[in-house]
Amino acid sequence: MDVLRTPDERFTGLPDFPYEPRYAEVTDGLRMAYVEAGPAGGQPVLLLHGEPSWSFLYRRVMAVLADAGFRAIAPDLVGFGRSDKPAAREDHTYARHVEWVRSLAFDALGLSGVTLVGQDWGGLIGLRLVAEHPDRFARVVATNTGLPTGDVPMPEVWHRFREAVQNAPVLDVARFVQAGCATRLPEEVRRAYDAPFPSEEFKAGPRAMPGLVPTSPDDPAAPANRAAWAALTTLGLPFLVAFSDGDPITGGMAPILKRSMAGAAGLDHPVVKGAGHFLQEDAGRELGEAVAAFMRATPPA
């Protein structure tokens, strides 16, 4: 595949993001980037972002978790952030993204006892990994996400979003992030979300991702996601549902996850107030504190 790499100078002067990038080679010879905070020996927390953001989204969450003594690890999905960017939309498949993150987390970093925090596509990818590799995980935090199988219609607002992303002559990444926030983003933060994409040819990942969400029962990813549901609903791992109160895209998934996941029973599931789809931007410290409290309350066996 033809692969692009964003020049390093695009990432200079990022606000509140002092973390040095690290890199690892994953399946297909691609380079994935990630950042870390906290003690190397701390319990690992894998923070997976979604569309069309990157690890910058987790900067406030990382600071809280590091201060609490946990090892916060935030990768950039392939096609996003500092990670390599396959230039053709067809290079991006759901199965490939799951495999790329698996390769980073387990082959390159050798993580175990992981607490997953997955938002948006970070949940679609991360929940698959939990279902397929449960021995690697200690806990799950699902936040403004889901695991669609194509058997239930997606909300109309999501279809409008998919249409806009796939067909806009110029994809304004920062505008889409802003549209998913309840607070106003400063200009330097908007520039940080645009930084990975110097031109339209770098945006195959963001363009492709909405089309990879299963929307029909015969979608190529539907069988694997159904199998993941079957595994997750009987898995005993502690499962926290930490959604915001203002996400029209995924909000309906919160009650479904709470009643469906065996590990969600008996937990006090927080609702992050005054936040939109990108609750890490609107209430990053609150989300970080909720994750840290959950980890302290559910010590590993």
DSSP class of residue 73 equals E
C-alpha–C-alpha distance, residues 84 and 13, integer Å: 21
Residue carrying the six token digits 């908007």 = 190
Residues 6+ apart with CB under 8 A from 167: none
C-alpha–C-alpha distance, residues 215 and 237, integer Å: 28
Please report, as a single letter, which amino acid is at residue 220. Answer: P
Residue carrying the six token digits 């199988």 = 149
Active site residue 247: yes
CA 127 from centroid of its chain's CA atoms: 10
Please report, as a single letter, which amino acid is at residue 179. Answer: A
Please report, as a single letter, which amino acid is at residue 247. Answer: D
Catalytic residue among 84, 91, 120, 219: 120
CA 269 from centroid of its chain's CA atoms: 19
Catalytic residue among 247, 268, 269, 282: 247
C-alpha–C-alpha distance, residues 135 and 183, integer Å: 38
Q: Residue 18's closest CA among 71, 78, 60?
A: 60
C-alpha–C-alpha distance, residues 257 and 166, integer Å: 29
Catalytic residue among 76, 91, 277, 282: 277
The strand pairing partners of 294, in sequence order, are none
Tokens of 150: 């194509």
Active site residue 172: no
3-state secondary structure 41-61: CCCEEEEECCCCCCHHHHHHH
Active site residue 277: yes
The residues that are catalytic are 120, 247, 277
